[in-house]
Amino acid sequence: MTALAHPQLAPASSRMVRCAWCRQPVRLIVASKHQGVCPLCVAENAELGWRTVYDRRRGLGEIPANLRAAYNL
């Protein structure tokens, strides 16, 4: 996992991270709404039950690496 250089230096609204699946740059503000993946991947994989990759309430799975990095978890 390679984060973009110094994302903390950019304003939050323009921070870029990489999609956890296709690795394309996506705005953090967008990725954070979709569990770290871009809207295209969400649309393509919605039927695969990707949400179970990480369920905070039930303590299942792992936080996606790019979210972990983005939020310093």
Binding site for Zn ion (CB under 5 A): 19, 21-22, 38, 41
Distance CA 44, CA 21 (A): 11
Specify burial of residue 13 (Cβ count, 10 A radius: 0-12, 13-18, 19+).
Answer: exposed
Tokens of 48: 């695969």
Task: Rank residues 41 and 67 by Cβ distance to Zn ion and give the closer one.
Answer: 41
- Which amino acid makes up residue 71? Y
Task: Rank residues 23 and 55 by Cβ distance to Zn ion and give the closer one.
Answer: 23
Task: Rank residues 21 and 50 by Cβ distance to Zn ion and give the closer one.
Answer: 21
Cβ 59 to Zn ion shortest distance, Å:
26
